[in-house]
């Protein structure tokens, strides 16, 4: 009997999701694509029954790539009998009793079956160091939680479908939690940061409280003042969230590492152009204002993105300002939006809450200096990769500026979404729009969705009057996701993935934000409303 036809679905502007019969076929297709990459392929993410393929639309088309995927073999990868990693566990998880109920067992029997024999690391994803473990007892097949938790402690051991897994660090998640371990699953101080890799086997051991006594600190995080370079800015108040960003870590999703980087890449690039930097140079991303910094030397700065009231206070008092709070640049022109100006040594720069949008960018000549982590200086909130968010007392250091002309009068950025407005966002349906009823899809497109305060760089959590109605209620095996994926948990309230999103997920993605709207959707402020519109334009 021949192979079943390959099911290829669109996943946003630059992604295809290839679905096969089972895990063995998915791993075989992944191996073929990894060893002989088709033209234009940027990234591959294997999962339980799928391979997500990200591509460069300038080098290949979705149609040509789909035909290439269909021609690849989906057999021939032998099982790997890898080394065994022993994981001590304290089985006291919040969902242990619920798992026992779902399985028709008692809690002690759940633990016995979970520890009875080794599991195998089938693939990695979701977050750095997170391994999807297969081959466990079939009786432990349980659904994910109806609503994912916003924060799960590092070291939590969980179950979802036929898989088990260990959360490498605190993160959102919807798996059923049955225990905890103190092992560090992801540690950047190790030559190989991930403790688990595909092909390894994992033997869980019921170790009681001793399970938490093993070294459990995750990889060291940089602080802003531990970086090389020349001291330039002292952080007086970081605001709700200020992080270092560049254009991220593309091409590492198969390791569970998201691209991360700037939420609004066009505003980020404009900030760098204003000070004469290459477009990918690291800068500061400031969420909802509140940042106060002091210049430690004479320094040119640029501020773009969300138009926040900006005040410069010199050592002798406030600098001249217009009534809107927009600082005057060095030419004397009061700038409402993007602006560049000189901070004298000792002067303070203060950003207030923006009137529109969500994030602003502060760039300096030479860029924010630091030690790259996996090729990038970006802070990734989900994985804990890169420098920690800025704190009061941190010193921001800058690199050596290149001889490049600053953009004195760049093109203005687009008008950003306001808190009392409805922002229309273009989406491409799929890859899992068929998991929703006709009425559910109508609700998705016709209803306004409000951005809730639980939103951040990982995703915008939306709330609508009517939840989305699903046509299927079974469990979706975990599969790769792209930036802008609109994932829908069982409560029917969508989550739009942004910069630090999980690279795999187990809830159906009804649609993906079109590439031309990714920057804009990341700028919709808390309380702002979104209406989705289907487009054929990637």
- For the segment 191-220, what is each residue's pLDDT rounded down to a tens digit? 888 899 888 899 999 999 999 987 544 444
Our measurement of the distance from residue 455's CA atom to the centroid of its chain's CA atoms, rounded to an integer in Å, reads: 12
Mean pLDDT score, 63-69: 97
Percent with pLDDT over 90 in the chain = 71
The model's confidence at residue 413, banded by pLDDT at 50, 70 and 90, is confident
Contact partners, residue 9, CB within 8 Å, separation at least 6: 16, 17, 19, 430, 431, 432
The CA distance from 370 to 236, in Å, is 20
Pinpoint the alpha helices (H) of 73-232.
96-103, 107-114
Question: 246-263: b or e for each residue (b if 16 or more CB lie within 10 Å)?
Answer: bbbbbebbbbbbbbbbbb
**How deeply is 227 buried, as exposed, middle or buried, from its count of CB atoms within 10 A (0-12, 13-18, 19+)?**
buried
Q: Which of 175, 190, 80 is nearest to 129 (CA)?
A: 190
Spatial contact of 514 and 534, defined as CB atoms under 8 Å apart: no
Spatial contact of 129 and 193, defined as CB atoms under 8 Å apart: yes
The CA distance from 341 to 261, in Å, is 25
Residue 385: DSSP 8-state: B
Percent with pLDDT over 70 in the chain = 90
Bond into 440 cis (ω within 30): no
Roughly what angle, to the nearest 10 degrees, separates helices 96-103 and 107-114? 90
Comparing 437 with 190, the larger pLDDT belongs to 437
Contact partners, residue 367, CB within 8 Å, separation at least 6: 246, 272, 277, 281, 282, 283, 398, 399
225 pLDDT higher than 60: no
221 pLDDT higher than 90: no
CATH code for residues 7-71: 3.30.1360.40
Mean pLDDT score, 413-424: 93
**Given this chain, do its domains 84-212 and 422-534 carry the same CATH topology?**
yes
329 pLDDT higher than 70: no
Identify how many contiguous H helices and E strands the chain contains and give both numbers: 7, 33
Residue 280: DSSP 8-state: T
Mean pLDDT score, 69-85: 79
Token pair 């090729």 in the structure block, residue: 375
Average the pLDDT over each of 145-149, 180-184, 393-397 and give the range with the smallest value: 145-149
Average pLDDT, the chain: 89
User: Where are the extended beta strands (E) located within 107-209?
Assistant: 119-124, 131-134, 149-152, 156-160, 163-166, 171-173, 176-180, 201-206
pLDDT at 330: 36
The CA distance from 100 to 341, in Å, is 62
Pairing of strands 156-160, 176-180: antiparallel
**pLDDT tens per residue across span 494-524:** 999 999 998 988 899 999 999 999 999 999 9
The model's confidence at residue 223, banded by pLDDT at 50, 70 and 90, is very low
pLDDT at 83: 87
The alpha carbons of the chain give a radius of gyration, in whole angstroms, of 24
- Three-class DSSP category at 184: coil
Count of Cβ atoms closer than 10 Å to residue 122 Cβ: 22
407 pLDDT higher than 80: no
The model's confidence at residue 333, banded by pLDDT at 50, 70 and 90, is very low
Comparing 107 with 4, the larger pLDDT belongs to 107
Our measurement of the distance from residue 425's CA atom to the centroid of its chain's CA atoms, rounded to an integer in Å, reads: 19
CATH code for residues 84-212: 2.40.100.10
The CA distance from 226 to 396, in Å, is 9
Report the chain's terminal Cα–Cα distance, integer Å. Answer: 38
355 pLDDT higher than 80: yes
The model's confidence at residue 431, banded by pLDDT at 50, 70 and 90, is very high
pLDDT at 384: 81
300 pLDDT higher than 90: yes
The CA distance from 198 to 133, in Å, is 9
pLDDT at 79: 52
Residue 103: DSSP 8-state: H
222 pLDDT higher than 80: no
Spatial contact of 89 and 207, defined as CB atoms under 8 Å apart: yes
pLDDT at 328: 40
Helix (H) or strand (E) holding 274: helix 265-274
CATH code for residues 422-534: 2.40.100.10
The model's confidence at residue 254, banded by pLDDT at 50, 70 and 90, is confident
> Facing residues of 317 across strands?
314
Mean pLDDT score, 282-300: 96
Mean pLDDT score, 334-360: 87
459 pLDDT higher than 50: yes
**pLDDT tens per residue across span 103-142:** 999 999 999 999 999 999 988 887 788 999 999 999 999 9
Comparing 238 with 401, the larger pLDDT belongs to 238
334 pLDDT higher than 60: no
The CA distance from 440 to 304, in Å, is 38
- CA torsion 237→239→241→243, rounded to 10°? -40
- For the chain, the structural domain boundaries read 7-71, 84-212, 225-398, 422-534
Spatial contact of 305 and 274, defined as CB atoms under 8 Å apart: no
């Amino acid at each position: 009997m021949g192979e079943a036809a390959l099911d290829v679905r669109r996943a946003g502007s630059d992604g295809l999701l290839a679905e096969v019969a089972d895990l063995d076929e998915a791993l075989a297709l992944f191996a073929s694509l990894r060893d002989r990459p088709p033209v234009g392929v940027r990234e591959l993410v294997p999962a339980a029954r799928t391979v997500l393929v990200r591509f460069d639309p300038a080098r290949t088309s979705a149609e040509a790539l789909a035909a290439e995927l269909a021609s690849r073999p989906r057999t021939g990868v032998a099982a790997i009998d890898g080394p065994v990693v022993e994981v001590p566990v304290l089985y006291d998880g919040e969902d242990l009793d619920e798992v026992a109920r779902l399985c028709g067992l008692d809690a002690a029997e759940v633990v016995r079956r979970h520890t009875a024999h080794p599991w195998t690391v089938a693939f990695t994803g979701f977050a750095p160091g997170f391994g999807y473990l297969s081959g466990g007892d079939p009786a432990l097949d349980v659904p994910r939680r109806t609503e994912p938790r916003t924060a799960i402690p590092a070291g939590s051991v969980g179950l979802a479908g036929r898989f088990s897994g260990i959360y490498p660090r605190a993160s959102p998640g919807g798996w059923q939690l049955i225990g905890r371990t103190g092992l560090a699953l992801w540690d950047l101080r190790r030559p190989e940061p991930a403790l688990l890799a595909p092909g390894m086997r994992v033997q869980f051991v019921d170790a009681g409280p001793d399970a938490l006594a093993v070294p459990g600190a995750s990889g060291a995080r940089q602080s802003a003042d531990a970086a090389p370079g020349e001291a330039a800015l002292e952080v007086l108040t970081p605001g709700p969230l200020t992080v270092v960003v560049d254009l991220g870590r593309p091409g590492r999703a198969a390791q569970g590492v998201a691209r991360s980087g700037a939420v609004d890449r066009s505003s980020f690039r404009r900030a760098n152009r204003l000070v004469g930097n290459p477009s990918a140079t690291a800068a500061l991303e400031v969420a909802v204002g509140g940042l106060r910094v002091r210049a430690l030397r004479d320094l040119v700065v640029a501020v773009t993105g969300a138009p926040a009231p900006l005040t410069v206070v010199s050592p002798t008092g406030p600098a001249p300002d217009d009534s809107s709070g927009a600082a005057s640049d060095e030419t004397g022109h009061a700038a409402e939006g993007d602006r560049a100006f000189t901070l004298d040594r000792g002067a303070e720069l203060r950003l207030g809450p923006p009137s529109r949008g969500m994030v602003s960018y502060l760039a300096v000549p030479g860029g924010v200096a630091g030690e790259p982590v996996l090729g990038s200086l970006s802070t990734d909130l989900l994985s804990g990769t890169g420098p920690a968010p800025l704190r009061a007392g941190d010193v921001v250091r800058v690199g050596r500026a290149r001889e490049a002309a600053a953009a004195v009068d760049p093109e203005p950025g687009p008008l950003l979404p306001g808190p009392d407005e409805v922002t229309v966002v273009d989406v491409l349906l799929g890859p899992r729009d068929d998991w929703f009823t006709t009425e559910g899809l109508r609700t998705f497109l016709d209803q306004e969705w409000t951005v809730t305060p639980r939103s951040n760089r990982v995703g915008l959590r939306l709330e609508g009057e009517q939840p989305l109605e699903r046509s299927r209620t079974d469990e979706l095996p975990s599969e790769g996701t792209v930036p802008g994926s609109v994932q829908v948990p069982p409560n029917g309230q969508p989550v739009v993935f942004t910069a630090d999103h999980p690279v795999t997920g187990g809830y159906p993605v009804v649609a993906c934000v079109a590439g031309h709207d990714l920057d804009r959707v990341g700028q919709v402020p808390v309380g702002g409303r979104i209406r989705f519109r289907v487009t054929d334009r990637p």
